[in-house]
């Protein structure tokens, strides 16, 4: 049990990577406060894992403030925070992105990490220990055509994470980011189907083209991300901070053309 009794906040925990990380951390003995905006899904997922939950919109200052109050009152400490909640938007050229779309993506993906810094880090500094992990994306160092707000939000996370590692490192706090590449599942399947129809070719051809952009010719999955989160949160990574670790099969070409 590498995380026995470690008090862990995971945002965006009701589905996808957050849920996968919560499952892995539960197996390793962590006591988790699962956070999500989707109350129905969150209640279900946390019940299945027998973990605590807190319904919150991480893009709102008041939500993060209440979350911090709730967790410190009940648990007195926080050992690990996984800032994982994130959204994307309809793909489109940057000149077509509306201000509302831009603000929404930046608020959920990037402003939320500022709120984490504002409402949780000061208490963590007093504890003189902690590990903070951000779910980023390879779009945060490669760019991502037709997803400019999303890519910008992930670059912002890296800047925040690096700075946090410097400011909070002297207090024994580590900050790192995981950058997943192209992820297996229903979402990428739908993207592939759409692209195949548009280009009048087969899904298999598009899928192979996507995979060909990585050295390992692969997509990644939620277990790959959970395994990296576990490593970064555990004492095995005690000397690792300020890093963006890609879990992506090594992206050679972020925009393979078919």
Ligand X SMILES: NC(=O)c1ccc[n+]([C@@H]2O[C@H](COP(=O)([O-])OP(=O)(O)OC[C@H]3O[C@@H](n4cnc5c(N)ncnc54)[C@H](O)[C@@H]3O)[C@@H](O)[C@H]2O)c1
Spatial strand order of the sheet with 130-135 comes to: 52-55, 31-36, 7-11, 80-83, 130-135, 173-180, 243-247
Among residues 68, 84, 142, 241, the one that binds ligand X under rule CB under 6 A: 84
Alpha carbon 9 to its chain centroid, in Å, reads 12
Least distance to ligand X, CB of residue 171, Å: 26
Least distance to ligand X, CB of residue 148, Å: 14
176 CB-near residues (< 8 Å, 6+ apart)? 131, 132, 133, 134, 161, 165, 232, 237, 240, 241, 242, 243, 244, 245
Among residues 8, 33, 36, 232, the one that binds ligand X under rule CB under 6 A: 36
Asked if 214 interacts with ligand X (CB under 6 A), we say no
Of 90, 82, 96, the C-alpha closest to 51 is 82
Question: In the annotation, is 150 catalytic?
Answer: yes
Among residues 7, 10, 34, 58, the one that binds ligand X under rule CB under 6 A: 58
Cβ-based nearer residue to ligand X, 57 or 195: 57
- Exactly one of 53, 115, 150, 210 is catalytic; name it: 150
Among residues 9, 17, 53, 121, the one that binds ligand X under rule CB under 6 A: 17
Task: Give residues 132-151 in contact with ligand X (rule: CB under 6 A).
Answer: 135, 137
Cα–Cα distance between 108 and 241 in angstroms, integer? 24
Q: How many residues bind ligand X (CB under 6 A)?
A: 24
Catalytic residue list = 150
């Amino acid at each position: 049990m590498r995380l026995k009794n470690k008090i862990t906040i995971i945002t965006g925990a009701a589905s996808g990577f957050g849920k996968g990380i919560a499952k892995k951390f539960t197996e390793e003995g962590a006591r988790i406060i699962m956070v999500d905006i989707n109350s129905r899904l969150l209640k279900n997922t946390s019940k299945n894992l027998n973990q605590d939950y807190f319904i919150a919109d991480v893009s709102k200052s008041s939500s993060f403030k209440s979350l911090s109050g709730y967790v410190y009152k009940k648990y007195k400490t926080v050992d690990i925070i996984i800032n994982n909640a994130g959204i994307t938007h309809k793909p489109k050229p940057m000149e077509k992105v509306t201000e509302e779309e831009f603000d929404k993506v930046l608020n959920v993906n990037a402003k939320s990490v500022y709120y984490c810094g504002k409402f949780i880090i000061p208490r963590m500094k007093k504890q003189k220990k902690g590990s903070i992990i951000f779910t980023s994306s390879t779009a945060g160092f490669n760019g991502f055509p037709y997803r400019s707000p999303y890519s910008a939000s992930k670059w912002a996370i890296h800047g925040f994470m690096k700075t946090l590692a410097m400011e909070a490192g002297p207090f024994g706090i580590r900050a790192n980011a995981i950058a997943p590449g192209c992820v297996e599942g229903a979402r990428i399947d739908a993207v592939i189907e759409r692209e195949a129809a548009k280009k009048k070719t087969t899904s298999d051809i598009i899928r192979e083209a996507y995979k060909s952009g990585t050295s390992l010719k692969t997509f990644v999955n939620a277990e790959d991300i959970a395994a990296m989160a576990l490593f970064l949160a555990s004492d095995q990574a005690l000397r690792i901070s300020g890093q963006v670790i890609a879990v992506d099969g090594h992206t050679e070409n972020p925009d393979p053309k078919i």
